[in-house]
Structure 1
Amino acid sequence: MSSDVPDPSDVDAARVERVRVEDEMEQSYIDYAMSVIAGRALPDVRDGLKPVHRRILYAMHEMGVTSGSSHRKSSSVIGETMGDYHPHGDSAIYDTLVRMAQPFSMRHPLVDGQGNFGSMDGDPAAAMRYTEARMSPIAEELLEDIEKDTVDFSPNYDDRLTEPDVLPSAFPNLLVNGSSGIAVGMSTNIPPHNLGEVVDATIELIDDPEATVEDLMEHVKGPDFPTGANIVGRDAIYSAYSTGRGRLRVRAEYETDDDKIVITEVPFQQNKARLVERIADDVNEGKIEGVRDLRDESDRNGVRIVIELKRGANPDVVENQLLEHHLENTFGVINLALVDGQPKVLTLKETLEHYVEHRKEVVRRRSEYDLGEAEDRAHILEGRLTALENVDDVVELIQDSEDRDAAKEALIEAYDFSTDQADHIVRMQLGSLTSMEAAEIESEYEDVQERIERLETILEDESELLAVIKEELREIKEEYADDRRTSIIEDQGTVTHEDLIAEEEVVVVVTEDDYVKRMPADRFDPQGRGGKGIIGADVKEGDRVSKVFRANTHDYLLCFTNHGQVYRLKTYEIPEMSRTARGKSAINLIDFDDGEEITAVVATDEFEDGECVTMVTRDGYVKRTEGEEFENILSTGIIAADLEDGDELIDVEVTDGTKDLVIATEGGMTIRFDESEVRCMGRNARGVGGIKLQDDDKVAGLVATDEDDDNALLTVTRNGFGKRTKLAEYSTQSRYGMGLIDIKTGERNGPVATVKSVAEDDGLVLMSENGQIMVTRASDVSIVGRNTMGVTVMDVEDDDAVASVDVLPAATPDADDAQAEEASVPADDE
């Protein structure tokens, strides 16, 4: 190694700094993060602007592109901003200028744009060489008095110029126009507000520094978005104002009538074209039913999206489907801004407090500046007045001087003028020595003295300074405030899945292998008695229909099974399918055990006081359990009755303690007794004997009635025969007797399938084991006495049988006589 090159080991250690690499990385990242936070992403709490917004407006101010000037090419403004103040990409600067010109993005746009500045449909603005811009009038209020040393200035990026650290901001722009941005590890999302409300709240805080957030909310009702729409509920607004964070539900404004839904306002920052597209996709995919046509009729006058409904569609259901997926957005409020250069989450009160402090500083500095200017002017006027009082001597002294400098020195020596006064007097024109000019000078001097006194009062008395701030805020409100656009509506709860389901009467079919489905009840035209019906379910081989019942889609169903269990579900949870569909396995809805099947269903939302669930088993046991014991049913079900081996739960009725119970058997026997003979017992009880069964007879069904009941007992056998008999013909006797003959069963009729209490105008739904379904009128079934054969109600095939019957409480519309298939019944059937 050459002797001229030093050995590395001999290098002065003081020039080497040893650091841990993780410490260096941590500090470097923190420096970068703070640079992004303070220099790009977050607004200043005082003027509500990020550096790029502030620089664009200041560049326009320096260029003279104000609201009173002609528009200038946007490219010119961007070039000046980028070249003098903001050394970043021109596209980012132009995007900022575009947003400040969009009336759907800013509550009070700060830029007056001319040309294509984008749309609510997400259309981009035209290139900057095509558009023109100038400051809007309200933007000039942010820069008002900036030349009066009201704010601090710092050197620009290349030290050629200076730029303001903050704008004077004559109104609380942070709240009025809001802000959004993502920094490193934090983000801000401040909604816009109504200018008049914010001004009123600011004045309230000035008058009462102890005012609470609730007090300020008497003025600021909530955010006021430029696109209008509605905020749902007030709790989230209070949370946002009191903590600085909250989640607002923003709902579109729309009108609904029988044949269409018209959307007139959409949530803030909602892409209107994308909204229409997503609604159309859901309509095409069947997620939204009942829509016939969808049109966007929006123009420059406002939003108008028309959704035309199909004939017979339920407007409430379509409305709820739209609300769940399309017409409501969540606006997450994060009121994060820079306070003294540091990010801080602020409450409503804190935000206004920082603004008031800023305005106090601005008005104080402006007053000091104006006071200095006024005092300088008063000093000059005092010299002029002295000169006017000694005009002849002053003129002679100036004439006798060799030059202007000598004249100034002579004036200073003779009248004790200051250099500025002497310089001004020497430059005075002879015309200003007239008496009229003298009077004007005296008048101006008096005005200046008054102004000096006023400015000194403002600077000495904070209440006067605050009065100035309030007066200027009132002037801003008078000039620029407008009506609130966003309404605040009460929270009626979020849209639930139930709201999306049309409320309609349906027929539910259950098979022995636990396949289940529902179908609209109006899908089946009524037939005359004796008809074959139509396919109501495609039952797989080896399976049979076990139950058919009517329900409303919004009903809660208590499903009792042959094993004595009870389960609870909503009707709409049962899948809706076509007539010819087999159904879906009920295992997805109810956790059945092997061999378990639904034998009785009770539709009820809740039980009234005193109501009981009355049950009867295949072996003739009957029990009553208070309804309140069935109000909390587990997803896996609960025990309804403790059955003996081989016994099954057959039928259930809801009673109130005043009813008579009618138990019918498959062999055609019935017994009627007062339900009070059966005491209320717990769910785990077996029950007591209700009827004595003969030989191999089994219970077929249960009916609850009373003495004033004018209904008839409908009895239907498995071979499709049936009859109606007035309930009054069934005399009351003691519980656990043999009962009376109700219908002759024999070979023709077969065993009794079920019994029901029916009124004259009720409809009937009959279902066969092979899946045939038939709707008929109860009035078509003749009223006859007990111990008769009955008439053909449903024409079932030899290998088929009636499985279940249910009652439609309202009369079913009449069918065309041509559609009725009247069965030929021998005269001696009755």
Structure 2
Amino acid sequence: MSSDAPDAPDAVADRIENVRVEDEMEQSYIDYAMSVIAGRALPDVRDGLKPVHRRILYAMHEAGVTSGSAHRKSSSIVGETMGDYHPHGDSAIYDTLVRMAQPFSMREPLVDGQGNFGSVDGDPAAAMRYTEARMAPIAEELLADIDMDTVDFESNYDGRLEEPAVLPSAFPNLLVNGSSGIAVGMSTNVPPHNLGEVIDATIHLIENPECSIPDLMEHLPAPDFPTGANIVGRSAIRKAYHTGRGRLRVRAEYHVEEGERGDSIVITELPYQQNKSRLVERIAEDVNDGTLEGVRDLRDESDRDGIRVVVELKSNANTDIVENHLLESHLERTFGVINLALVDGQPEVLSLKETLEHYLDHRKEVVRRRSEYELTEAEDRAHILDGRLKALENAEDVVETIRGAENRDDARAALEDEYGFSGEQAAHIVRMQLGSLTSMEAAEIEDEYAEVTARIERLEEILGDEDELLGVIEDELREIKDEYANERRTRVVEEAGEVTDEDLIPEERVVVTLSEGDYIKRTPVETFSTQHRGGKGVIGADLKEGDRVSTVFTASTHDYLLCFTNQGQVYRLKVYQVPEMSRTARGTSAVNVVDLDDGEEITAVVTADDLDFEADEEYLTMATRDGYVKRTAVSEFANIRSTGIRAVRLEHGDELVDVEVTDGESDVVVSTEEGMAIRFDETEARPMGRSARGVRGVKLEGGDRVSGVAAARSDDERDLMTVTEYGYGKRTALAQYRRQSRNGKGLVDIKTGQRNGRVASVHAVAEGDEFVAMSEDGQIMRASVSEVSEYGRNTQGVTVMDLVEHDRLAAVDVFTPDDADDEATDGADE
């Protein structure tokens, strides 16, 4: 055998490529996953359809099975879809066709079915050879203008035909009909909504592009399920619309009817996708096994007019108890919202506003391309009409020229040469009948020319002005609303009688203390009377031998806190979750509240209630012991796991010291333990991600370290209150700290040394503020900041808290007293 033969061993070996099995498996799996994600399981955000839905509708469109045609056998529709566009088996296509025809599955059914298409009892549809279908009128709105080059087309699976990559979609179908599906490693579950409300929200976004999600919720308050029922509570709806994820509690609609032999609980609407037959079976099972007592009879009286399941009670039954059991076990379901859709071919979890914005981007492209298509056609028609009018002006000469030509080609050429007609105009004139030279025909041509010219001007106006284009979209949306919108079916109800843990906790300001031995507690701040500066305070915690206070801060019991630790982690905490104890109590193990590692201490606390996690206009500015400063957008901390997340990357030996909230226009004041302070514009530290280290904020000398950070404004009239570890401190006007460049040595803030010790904390304070100071041995003192004297920089200050020998100040926290706090009183509790 010749070595040049194609099957020679050497030639085959040259085509073999050696690869690692794990690399090939990884790439093949990724290819498969993306194929399932993009090609089968997830809807496109633009038309809200998966490929199988889109192909069924397009196949019906091509076959002329529209709302105005006769119904066609479902098997015929399935066959054409499978043969031309979707080679994945007839059962999958028919199941999809059936669902699009079910009024209890789709808020606005896209298919008009005739025959048995299943029921809410879980009954399957009849075989496809028995049922018939055609497009529903609203489905035609998804395909409207598809023949006007409004969307891109791509080759079908065998290259014989072309199919649309997306439908023009004259309304936001993803929100109206929702979608569900499971892909590889991800799933989607978009709830259906009311068509009229979705359109109202879309129009509001068109008119107010900067609107917020709450603004949109004024028009689109909640999902609207085709089976009605009730959504319990609004917080989950808000979360789902803001984050794209949420868990909605959907409750059946029912009422109690009184009877001579006892009450009856009558169920008239079911949660979305709940099987009615299975519901009745499960209630009967509870009655039979004794779990549900007091039920005398159970009947399903449902008919074509609606659902009616009757639970008849015995005369001596407690109706409330039976009702509660039904609610807990049968009449409520959870709908897990996952607003996941394909955006430019990539899966993304979208908020309500993002979903509508992507739809509008698509719709603008559709209207633009349609207008360009119509403009081209109108210009072509205007060109022909212009030629006809010109021919009418020279009718006798034109007729004579045509009569004198030997054939049509010579006639066209003569018209082009003698009268300047274009080829298209000349060809059209040669084909004209003599009857079109009448005066009546001429008037009609002039009218049509004026109409076409006006149409061209309007199309050019739409293409040249986005506001006009958006106006067209808005008008078309209003027309669809007027044609198809109907009343909302699902109601939103507040949880009647539900009492949460937070409801049972009075809202009050408390002092939270945490020790190195991981004991934590909260105590009402009113427990501690205000004192003059220099007091010894009172016992704030009964510590175990060898234990010391590490953290103290004030907050409201209903506050949601971000707790930052020395190791650069951040945890979330509801203050009421910290057990309340007396001021002399030791506290409870902190592991039950905050899961801190060994040696991990809370060094800074930020109240999250007032933070806007959706915007990028607020920052958490962090300072470390070694002088690094980092700014990170608040939005980076929107989702914090129970085990905490990384807030800043620390080098070996460095610690996170303090955190301040800034707005992008503040100055940052960094204080050091040796009494230095530097003030610089926060923009000198550019925003970074959570895993970044930050930049140098202050140049430290010797063994100096950062003690804290404060935020200031250029017109700030507040003071900087500095307190040292031996209980001395002062207030100095922030105006005395001039702005410098970061990474400088700064200015002398307070004199440290043998009397004062190192700086323990710094805070920007205003008149009327109070502070709580706590020592490592557990002494605590509450006082007004006005008690701390004002001094200039580079002074020693005065006694703030009288500490015994060997005791040191652990922490200071500043707060603005609530109206409910007791008025300040002199002296201390005994």
Query: Could you say which TM-score interval applies, normalised by the shorter chain?
Result: 0.5 to 0.7
Gap change, CA 1:319 and 1:446, over 3 Å in 2: same
Question: What's the counterpart of residue 358 of structure 2?
Answer: 354
SS in 2 for 1:67: coil
Question: What's the counterpart of residue 434 of structure 1?
Answer: 438
SS in 2 for 1:463: helix
Amino acid at match of 1:43: P
- For residues 84-113 of structure 1, what are the alpha-carbon distances to aligned partners after superposition, in whole Å with 9 as ceiling and x for unaligned? 111111011000000000000000000000
**Aligned partners of 2:8, 2:91: CA distance in 1, in Å?**
49
Contact 1:41 1:183 survives alignment (8 Å): yes
**Aligned partners of 1:89, 1:176: CA distance in 2, in Å?**
28
Alignment of 1:319 onto 2:354: no
- For residues 39-93 of structure 1, what are the alpha-carbon distances to aligned partners after superposition, in whole Å with 9 as ceiling and x for unaligned? 1000000000000000000000011110011111111111110111111110110
- For residues 298-331 of structure 1, what are the alpha-carbon distances to aligned partners after superposition, in whole Å with 9 as ceiling and x for unaligned? 0111000011110011111100000000000000
Amino acid at match of 1:369: Y
User: Please, which of 389, 396, 399 is the counterpart of residue 385 of structure 1?
Assistant: 389
How far is 1:280 from its partner?
Answer: 0.6
How far is 1:140 from its partner?
Answer: 0.2
Q: Percent identity?
A: 78
**Aligned partners of 1:212, 1:288: CA distance in 2, in Å?**
47
Gap change, CA 1:493 and 1:238, over 3 Å in 2: farther
**Aligned partners of 1:4, 1:423: CA distance in 2, in Å?**
61
Amino acid at match of 1:240: A
Question: What's the counterpart of residue 81 of structure 1?
Answer: 81
Alignment of 1:425 onto 2:394: no
Question: What's the counterpart of residue 400 of structure 2?
Answer: 396
Alignment of 1:192 onto 2:196: no
SS in 1 for 2:363: helix
Gap change, CA 1:55 and 1:355, over 3 Å in 2: same
Higher-Rg member (1/2): 1
Question: What's the counterpart of residue 490 of structure 2?
Answer: 486
Gap change, CA 1:129 and 1:299, over 3 Å in 2: same
SS in 2 for 1:112: strand
Alignment of 1:476 onto 2:474: no
Gap change, CA 1:5 and 1:175, over 3 Å in 2: closer
How far is 1:11 from its partner?
Answer: 5.2
Amino acid at match of 2:73: K
SS in 2 for 1:210: coil
**Aligned partners of 1:51, 1:495: CA distance in 2, in Å?**
46
**Aligned partners of 1:481, 1:397: CA distance in 2, in Å?**
60
**Aligned partners of 1:293, 1:205: CA distance in 2, in Å?**
52
Contact 1:324 1:495 survives alignment (8 Å): no
Question: What's the counterpart of residue 507 of structure 2?
Answer: none
SS in 1 for 2:180: strand
Aligned runs of 1:542-691 on 2, under 5 Å? none
Contact 1:323 1:495 survives alignment (8 Å): no
**Aligned partners of 1:102, 1:426: CA distance in 2, in Å?**
56
**Aligned partners of 1:197, 1:6: CA distance in 2, in Å?**
67
Contact 1:41 1:181 survives alignment (8 Å): yes
Question: What's the counterpart of residue 456 of structure 1?
Answer: 460
Amino acid at match of 2:47: D
SS in 2 for 1:44: coil
Question: What's the counterpart of residue 465 of structure 1?
Answer: 469
Gap change, CA 1:469 and 1:4, over 3 Å in 2: closer
How far is 1:7 from its partner?
Answer: 12
Following superposition, which runs of at least 4 residues in structure 1 exceed 4 angstroms of deviation?
Answer: 1-14, 493-496
Amino acid at match of 1:298: S
Gap change, CA 1:112 and 1:9, over 3 Å in 2: closer
Amino acid at match of 2:427: D
Question: What's the counterpart of residue 272 of structure 1?
Answer: 276
Gap change, CA 1:10 and 1:426, over 3 Å in 2: closer
- For residues 755-792 of structure 1, what are the alpha-carbon distances to aligned partners after superposition, in whole Å with 9 as ceiling and x for unaligned? xxxxxxxxxxxxxxxxxxxxxxxxxxxxxxxxxxxxxx
Contact 2:177 2:192 survives alignment (8 Å): yes
Unaligned ranges ≥5, structure 2: 501-580, 586-830
Amino acid at match of 2:406: E
**Aligned partners of 1:198, 1:114: CA distance in 2, in Å?**
29
TM-score w.r.t. the length of structure 1 is: 0.59
How far is 1:9 from its partner?
Answer: 8.4
- For residues 170-198 of structure 1, what are the alpha-carbon distances to aligned partners after superposition, in whole Å with 9 as ceiling and x for unaligned? 00000000000001111000000001110
Contact 1:201 1:220 survives alignment (8 Å): yes
User: Please, which of 370, 374, 380 is the counterpart of residue 374 of structure 2?
Assistant: 370
Gap change, CA 1:213 and 1:2, over 3 Å in 2: closer
How far is 1:13 from its partner?
Answer: 7.2
How far is 1:10 from its partner?
Answer: 5.2
SS in 1 for 2:107: coil
How far is 1:357 from its partner?
Answer: 0.2
Gap change, CA 1:254 and 1:454, over 3 Å in 2: same
SS in 1 for 2:326: helix
**Aligned partners of 1:94, 1:63: CA distance in 2, in Å?**
17
Gap change, CA 1:168 and 1:4, over 3 Å in 2: closer
SS in 2 for 1:59: helix
Gap change, CA 1:75 and 1:302, over 3 Å in 2: same
Gap change, CA 1:428 and 1:488, over 3 Å in 2: same
How far is 1:257 from its partner?
Answer: 3.4
Amino acid at match of 1:278: R
SS in 1 for 2:189: strand
Alignment of 1:289 onto 2:293: yes
**Aligned partners of 1:441, 1:4: CA distance in 2, in Å?**
74
Contact 2:2 2:8 survives alignment (8 Å): no
SS in 2 for 1:48: coil
**Aligned partners of 1:64, 1:378: CA distance in 2, in Å?**
31
Question: What's the counterpart of residue 702 of structure 1?
Answer: none
**Aligned partners of 1:152, 1:310: CA distance in 2, in Å?**
65
- For residues 469-524 of structure 1, what are the alpha-carbon distances to aligned partners after superposition, in whole Å with 9 as ceiling and x for unaligned? 0000001111111110000000236699xxxxxxxxxxxxxxxxxxxxxxxxxxxx
How far is 1:209 from its partner?
Answer: 1.1
How far is 1:5 from its partner?
Answer: 8.4
Contact 1:191 1:225 survives alignment (8 Å): yes
Aligned runs of 1:179-218 on 2, under 5 Å? 179-218=179-218
Question: What's the counterpart of residue 443 of structure 1?
Answer: 447
Contact 1:40 1:51 survives alignment (8 Å): yes
TM-score w.r.t. the length of structure 2 is: 0.59
**Aligned partners of 1:100, 1:7: CA distance in 2, in Å?**
54
Alignment of 1:61 onto 2:65: no
**Aligned partners of 1:99, 1:434: CA distance in 2, in Å?**
58
Unaligned ranges ≥5, structure 1: 497-627, 633-830
Question: What's the counterpart of residue 311 of structure 2?
Answer: 307
Gap change, CA 1:3 and 1:431, over 3 Å in 2: closer
Gap change, CA 1:154 and 1:254, over 3 Å in 2: same
SS in 2 for 1:338: strand
Aligned runs of 1:91-110 on 2, under 5 Å? 91-110=91-110
SS in 2 for 1:202: helix
Question: What's the counterpart of residue 147 of structure 1?
Answer: 147
Question: What's the counterpart of residue 778 of structure 1?
Answer: none
Amino acid at match of 1:230: N
Gap change, CA 1:396 and 1:478, over 3 Å in 2: same
Amino acid at match of 2:434: L
Question: What's the counterpart of residue 526 of structure 2?
Answer: none
Gap change, CA 1:2 and 1:149, over 3 Å in 2: closer
**Aligned partners of 2:427, 2:257: CA distance in 1, in Å?**
82
Amino acid at match of 2:386: E
- For residues 175-227 of structure 1, what are the alpha-carbon distances to aligned partners after superposition, in whole Å with 9 as ceiling and x for unaligned? 00000000111100000000111001101111111111111111111000000
How far is 1:21 from its partner?
Answer: 1.2
How far is 1:16 from its partner?
Answer: 3.5
SS in 2 for 1:53: helix
Amino acid at match of 2:457: E
SS in 1 for 2:337: strand
**Aligned partners of 1:129, 1:141: CA distance in 2, in Å?**
28
**Aligned partners of 1:101, 1:189: CA distance in 2, in Å?**
19
Question: What's the counterpart of residue 240 of structure 2?
Answer: 240
